[in-house]
Structure 1
């Protein structure tokens, strides 16, 4: 009898735990986990009903930040590799330009990118 009561108590606890997990998934939208260079961070988002409120809190998205900044060293290296330049490396970084060196078709190549958005090609040698 004791074994039956323990089994039924454990099954009731498991069942209540499953109900608790199923009952609260809609509240998980108000929490956001951000993983950055300073470690993980939980962010509480405001409650917003798009039918009645102006929900602009999601505008601070990583895509917006990515496009608002100019060309970085990593983006210049990525663009050089997409252009077919192998073993690309940064030669110099200035306020208005980033110079990348590497090899293309066996020849040494130097490409200068602007620091504006989109990494425009300024010079190619």
Structure 2
């Protein structure tokens, strides 16, 4: 009877020591790096205190404005750029470059992305 109790106690001791060994290695997940900022500048205050050298963006709307398409086309090297067609999906700008007449088609979306040149 004592032999069975000794073996049971020894088995329980081995099981508990194995359980604590696995828990300590599982808890040591690796090095962590965290940065906590408690006081200071809040990004939500930026809209209320706009810096004086920062101009407000004019292309905040959901569409490509014709003046923005003309500006972008002239920055891309098109001289005498003018808008000739605006529809639901595209804004077409024509003008002249080094090789003659050229056109640029912009998507009618924010920022006027170029579709084709």
**Structure 1 runs of 4+ off > 3 angstroms?**
54-57
Aligned residue for 2:109, secondary structure, equals coil
How many residues align structurally? 72
Per-residue deviation at 1:113? 0.4
**C-alpha root-mean-square deviation of aligned residues, in Å?**
2.8
Pick from 68, 72, 78 the counterpart of residue 75 of structure 1. Answer: 68
Normalised to the residue count of structure 2, the TM-score between the two structures is 0.50
Which residues in structure 2 correspond to 1:1-125 (within 5 Å)? 58=48, 63=56, 66-69=58-61, 70-124=63-117
Where relative contact order (Cα < 8 A, 6+ residues apart) is larger, the structure is 2
The structure with the greater share of residues assigned to strand is: 1
5+ long unaligned stretches in structure 1: 1-50
Q: TM-score scaled to structure 1, two decimals?
A: 0.47
Q: Which has the higher helix share?
A: 1
Q: Equivalents in 2 of 1:87, 1:110: separation in Å?
A: 11
After TM superposition, give the deviation of residue 118 of structure 1 in Å: 1.5
Gaps of 5+ in 2: 1-40
